[in-house]
Copies of this chain bind each other. A is one copy, B any other.
Amino acid sequence: MYLRVLEHAATRGQQTISSDALAEDGGTTSAQVRKDLSLFGSFGKRGRGYAVAELVSRLREILGLSREWKVYIVGVGKIGAALVSYRGFSERGFHVLGIYDSNPAIVGRVIDGLAVRSMGQLAHDAARERPEIAVITVPSEYAQSVADRVVAAGIDAILNFAPVPLHVPPRVTVKSVNMALELEGLAYALVHRDAAGALP
């Protein structure tokens, strides 16, 4: 998130930025900013703040964004298809090079220049292309079994859009995006907004 704020500051031609300004734009506090950054090193100058360009490249390095990542998208429903051409991925060096679906009516269809491959090919393709990340956008009921296949294919990172927790071996990292859950959080906030001590 800091990286995003910093990049925005850079496009405005800003040379330096204080922890206070970074906090303001990022929706946190200056102490938090300084503590967070101090985890990785000492990037600022007292009295001046942080050099925007330098901090951007440091953060890119730390986050692992100074290289390309190969991504498979599994599940070509509405969401999956939308993600294939999502700017936000390619902008950050995430390169989608394979998309998969189990539905024969969808296999072969071309989306954004990429032909949908059949699930059966996944293990074989992965052995050759060695993608690091799989995005799972299949219905909840299939999410776990798809995750198992992805893991078996040697992929160690999963971005899960299904609203169920996935069980994977410890070498695999899973991050989940759960839109319905967030909406439910909003419903909760709306119902309890007047009540004292609402859940954060």
* Minimal beta-carbon separation of A76 from chain B (angstroms): 11
Which residues of the partner chain B approach A39 to less than 8 Å between Cβ atoms? 199
Contact, CB under 8 Å: A186 / B175: yes
Segment at the interface with B among A13-21, A47-55, A146-154, A177-185: A177-185
Kindly state whether residue A97 has any CB partner on chain B within 8 Å. no
Contact, CB under 8 Å: A86 / B92: no
Interface residues contributed by chain A, number (CB under 8 Å): 58
Kindly state whether residue A142 has any CB partner on chain B within 8 Å. no
Which residues of the partner chain B approach A133 to less than 8 Å between Cβ atoms? 183, 186-187, 190
Identical subunits present: 2
Contact, CB under 8 Å: A157 / B186: yes
Contact, CB under 8 Å: A179 / B177: yes
Kindly state whether residue A81 has any CB partner on chain B within 8 Å. yes
* Minimal beta-carbon separation of A82 from chain B (angstroms): 4
User: Could you jot down 24 A-B contacts, CB within 8 Å?
Assistant: A1-B165, A4-B164, A25-B165, A27-B165, A63-B191, A64-B190, A65-B187, A86-B179, A88-B163, A89-B179, A89-B180, A92-B183, A94-B183, A133-B183, A156-B193, A159-B179, A159-B183, A159-B186, A173-B186, A173-B189, A173-B193, A175-B186, A176-B182, A177-B182
